[in-house]
Structure 1
Amino acid sequence: WKVCQAYSVYDEEIGYCQGQSFLAAVLLLHMPEEQAFCVLVKIMYEYGLRGLYKNNFEELHCKFYQLERLLQEQLTDLYTHFTNLNLEAHMYASQWFLTLFTAKFPLCMVFHIIDLLLCEVMMLSSLSFP
């Protein structure tokens, strides 16, 4: 609760959104509150999660479109099945994107997802560009 409250004060434009609590909880399982807050800020600002909450969720809707196109190109049978059921990405993927997959998966899987995200980000941030 403290981490989410601190973030809502820190980032008044976004404030508190329900999905943040799942991510904060996972971070708190690995680090003290102060570090969890700092990592949450970094994820929100530098890794693009914050954009998903802005401007009437425009970026989130863009992610839904991208997901549907990927399904159409890479998993045609699944895409066709979803289309036949009138199942759209926003119906099942909102929570995935807004919580970075921390809400609906087993903790061991969530830990791997967060580890991969943070390792990828650390590798990218360590690259130097001319």
Structure 2
Amino acid sequence: MPTTTPVDGVGHPPLNAGQVSVPWLVDHIQMEVNIGPDTPEDQVERYARVYLIGLVGGFLFPDKSNRWIQGMWLNMLLGDWDEIGKKSWGSAVLAGIYRELCTCSRLGAKQVGGAMFILQL
């Protein structure tokens, strides 16, 4: 990960107060995808982890702007592969939805965040 300076001098920084920029992550995923049968296993694992970070942080636990992924997901997804699969991701998503529903029901709230597509389902 680069420092907190904007990429190529334009845009917003890829890191901001413990958050990762979703546009920066997507750009770098698209640039680095060259996986074939002869790709080393560590490179495939690295790409899979970055993809999971985007999926979990940007799709299952999005913020209201859909531009930042919370840094706490980085720690959870950079551990042992077996431990990642043992976590109760469905319960965590449901808890996140309930938290967002409580937050948006407060006086003065203008938006709701979280995986609201699950409520639509």
Q: Considering the TM-score relative to the shorter chain, is it more than 0.5?
A: no
State the TM-score, normalizing by the size of structure 2: 0.32
Which structure dedicates a bigger proportion of its chain to helix? 1
